[in-house]
Amino acid sequence: MHSTLISAPELQRLMDSGAPLRIYDCSFDLMDPQAGRAQYETRHIAGAIHADLDTHLSDKAGPDRASGGRHPLPSRERLARWLGRTGLTPGVQAIVYDRQGANYCGRLWWMLKWCGHEAVAVLDGGLQAWLEAGGATDSGPGPALPDEAAAYPLGPARVGTASTREIASRIGEPGLTLIDARANARFRGEVEPLDPVAGHIPGALNRPFSENLGPDGRFKPAEQLRAEFRALLGQRDPATVVHHCGSGVSAIPNLLAMEVAGLGTARLYPGSWSEWCNTPGVPCARSQVPA
């Protein structure tokens, strides 16, 4: 079973073995929400199902959504219905990938674990690594999903979350360490292209999610990731970490990297900055540019 990362050669061996698999292409573009579907239809791993951030992995209108922010989590029950339509069942190995440095596929990796599914892995290096390895691809709309199917049977969540209320009540406590995955300039509050307020949650540390990848687009070795997170955390306990970003999406590569590094499974603040900065009464901070 693969539960964090899988390499392109490892995926090819699984496919050759005939083992049951479900592969999901999560390609997306925040600035052009239709681009991900177009990228998928142009080229995707043979047999992959398209998972759209806005359509499948968020719920912007449902009364039972599980978080706030720009990309609210759907309820586990709503997600389970879609997973059932894709044919996923407990124990089947799920593989997720994108073209954007694991920025979007990490969302589904985390959400599957949130539903209780452990056998899910991110394709290290994404579609680019698959193409480099000579993997087979398809084009077009992909497999047709049935209108109705048995929902995925939910199990106990394998990942944890933090709420705005909890974070607001615990800012400054040594038992809470916030790590913000947005780019440095957004974290400092110099620019804010997406949300109405610039800045960050007071006391948060900053590690842009792209820092987890090497020049080849793959995750850095576990030892290197461990050293970098240890340097960031200092004396803070990794078990106290809650990851966040703009809307609960790009934080997950940091969460995944900590798990790859052997530092445990940290929690996620799904609403992230987009929920925080729209919550009346909570404090917001800005930083000076380092000298």
CA 81 – CA 94 distance, rounded (Å): 16
Active site residue 245: yes
Catalytic residue among 115, 245, 277, 284: 245
**How does the average pLDDT of the chain come out, rounded?**
93
Dihedral in degrees, nearest 10, Cα atoms 103, 35, 46, 129: -40
Distance CA 252, CA 267 (A): 10
Q: What is the pTM of this model?
A: 0.94
SS3 129: helix
pLDDT digits (tens, 9 = 90+) for 222-263: 999 999 999 999 999 999 999 999 999 999 999 999 999 999
Q: What is the pLDDT of residues 131-178, one digit of tens each?
A: 999 999 999 998 888 888 999 999 999 999 999 999 999 998 999 999
Between CA 274 and CA 10 the distance in angstroms is 37
Beta strand extents in the chain (DSSP E only): 5-6, 21-25, 44-45, 49-50, 93-97, 120-123, 137-138, 177-180, 205-206, 241-244, 267-268
Share of the chain above pLDDT 90, in %: 83
Residue 291 is predicted with a pLDDT of: 43
User: Is the distance from CB of 198 to CB of 191 less than 8 angstroms?
Assistant: yes
d(CA 18, CA 152): 22
